[in-house]
Amino acid sequence: MTESTGDGAIGAPAKASAASSRIGWYTVWMTSIVAVMSQLDRGILALFVQPMKRDFDLTDTQVSFLLGFAFTLFYVVGGPPLSRLADNGVRKTVISGCLAIWSAATACCGIAQNFWGFFVSRAVIGGTESGCGPASLSMIADAVPRNRMPLAYALYNSGFLGGQALSLVIGGLLIGLLANVQPIHLTGIGVIHNWQLVFMILGVPGVLIAALFLITVPEPPRHGGTRPKGYSLREVIGFIISQRAYHLPFLIAALLATFQVYGLGAWMPAFYERTYGWGPAISGPLIGMFTLISQTIGLFAGARLADLLDRRHDDANMRVYFLAFTLGLPFGVIAPLMPNPWVALSCFAISGALGAMGSPVFSAALQITTPNEMRSQVTALYFIVANAIAGSLGPTVVALLTDFVAHSEADLRYVLSGYRLVLGPVASIFMWKTLAPYARLYRERIRQDQ
């Protein structure tokens, strides 16, 4: 009897721990799937720059507003209230609700008839997507142990990469299959072009995944939380200011890095078409597959490197962030200048693999140094400053440089190279400045948890 009781006493916690671990990693996988869906609409729109210009008679600058400003303006508006709701409420409800709404708005891009029709749909997508990322990162931080965060965020960020790649692969394949479909005239709506059907097709799965997420994903308990009702936005901003030695260079580095991500990414399909003559049916799947493979490798390499460095360096996460971006920079600068598209793809792949190493450690560093009940709001502020500003201005700056400096669509390649050459080194400098203050905050967090 004694042995049986002893085994049960030992076995029950072990089984409970194993079950908790399975639930935690299921949460990570489901948030990764949501991340996939969040990227489909972005990549698809970039893929159809040329058809959109042709059928709606738009300029590069107008297209850039759809790629960036229409999305990010309402991302800024929706981010603070939705992240506040996630910090003091049920995060899975915020995530599933946002996913359902932006998926419906993606489908509505398929019936847009002009610039303003697309603008409204993109505004709805941006407003609702703003609440998903912060809530997901907060859930993951409570779903897995601290030392497993880089791996968990590598899995989560692989969802973004998968979504970006799938948007190009699926979009390119679908537009190829629909190439012979003639414009459809719908009474009361107008003309639906073949490329718009892709938006309708990709909008449907998101609604189904939103329902699955709400039903099957449990809300993880908050670890280390002391404020059940959360923090006000004023308190969150005060916290960031109090830690400005860390957050100021971190914010600037993130802003400059994402300026490059959005600026280059939005115009990549157009670059291949204008420079090498590859249309979206060719460039989309190839860019998608090269991106998916190279950056997935980078994500998990970054998580592994952070795990190895963590044993000896308190600044391991930020150190990997700095090294990843800096080592990938030269390949990103020379890629647009290559003499043929295959060499350009290879250089972009190397740059992307190295840059992706910084994604999981970026998320882990931000969550580790932030109190539990303000994680969503701090993350949202970072997303607003970095993603929203860079997402709206990045594509537009590239467009303006192409329209008013280069004066030629064919010179887009030189704009992309120069854009990276100017912004990249400055971003690296500010990343370096985060190392010492992050190490201090990391040690403080460890002491608080003990």
Distance in angstroms (rounded) separating the CA atoms of residues 132 and 380:
9
Say if residues 245 and 434 touch (Cβ distance below 8 Å): no
pLDDT of residue 301: 95
Given this model, what pLDDT does residue 17 score?
Answer: 56
pTM over 0.85: no
Rounded to an integer, the average pLDDT of 300-307 is 93
The structure tokens listed for 399 are 């467009």
Whether 176 has a pLDDT exceeding 60, the answer reads yes
Q: Where residue 326 falls among pLDDT bands split at 50, 70, 90?
A: very high
436-445 pLDDT, tens digit per residue, is 999 999 888 7
- Return the pLDDT at 5: 45
Residues sharing a CB contact under 8 Å with residue 328, sequence separation 6 or more, in sequence order: 350, 351, 352, 353, 354, 355
Using 50, 70 and 90 to split pLDDT, how confident is the model at 250? very high
1-8: average pLDDT: 44
For the record, the structure tokens of 211 come out as 């329902």
Share of the chain above pLDDT 90, in %: 38
User: pLDDT grade, residue 10 (50/70/90)?
Assistant: very low
- Answer yes or no: are the C-beta atoms of 134 and 379 closer than 8 Å: yes
∠ CA 244-131-116, rounded to 5° = 110
The residue that leads in pLDDT, 214 or 160, is 214
Supply the pLDDT for residue 449.
60
- The mean pLDDT of 368-382, rounded to a whole number, is 87
pLDDT digits (tens, 9 = 90+) for 328-342: 999 999 999 999 999
The phi and psi torsions of 184 (rounded to 5 degrees) equal -100, 125
User: What domains sit in the chain, N to C, each tagged with a CATH number?
Assistant: 19-216+231-449 (1.20.1250.20)
Q: Which of 50, 326, 99 is nearest to 202 (CA)?
A: 99
Position 78 scores a pLDDT of 86
- CB neighbourhood size of 116 (10 A): 10
Residues 103-116: what's their mean pLDDT? Answer: 87
pLDDT band at 200 (very low <50, low <70, confident <90, very high): confident
Q: How confident is the model at residue 276 (pLDDT cuts 50, 70, 90)?
A: very high
Instruction: Give yes or no for a contact between 271 and 412, defined as CB atoms under 8 angstroms apart.
Output: yes
Angle between helices 375-382 and 132-143 (to 10 degrees): 140
Residue 145 confidence (pLDDT) above 50: yes
222-251 average pLDDT score: 84
Q: What is the 3-state secondary structure (H, E, C) of the chain?
A: CHHHHHHHHHHHHHHHHHHHHHHHHHHHHHHHHHHHHHHHHHHHHHHCHHHHHHHHCCCHHHHHHHHHHHHHHHHHHHHHHHHHHHHHCCHHHHHHHHHHHHHHHHHHHHHCCCHHHHHHHHHHHHHHHCCHHHHHHHHHHHHCCHHHHHHHHHHHHHHHHHHHHHHHHHHHHHHHHCCCCCCEEECCCEEECCCHHHHHHHHHHHHHHHHHHHHHCCCCCCCCCCCCCCCCHHHHHHHHHHCHHHHHHHHHHHHHHHHHHHHHHHHHHHHHHHHHCCCHHHHHHHHHHHHHHHHHHHHHHHHHHHHHHHCCCCCHHHHHHHHHHHHHHHHHHHHHHCCCHHHHHHHHHHHHHHHHCHHHHHHHHHHHCCCHHHHHHHHHHHHHHHHHHHHHHHHHHHHHHHHHHHCCHHHHHHHHHHHHHHHHHHHHHHHHHCHHHHHHHHHHHHHHHC
Report the pLDDT value the prediction gives residue 284, as an integer from 0 to 100.
Answer: 76
Q: Given its phi and psi angles, is residue 188 left (phi above 0), alpha (psi -120 to 50 degrees) or beta?
A: left
Mean pLDDT for 231-246 is 91
pLDDT score, position 305? 94
Please give the mean pLDDT across all residues of the chain: 86
Selected residue with higher pLDDT from 292 and 7? 292
Is the pLDDT score of 122 beyond 70? Answer: yes
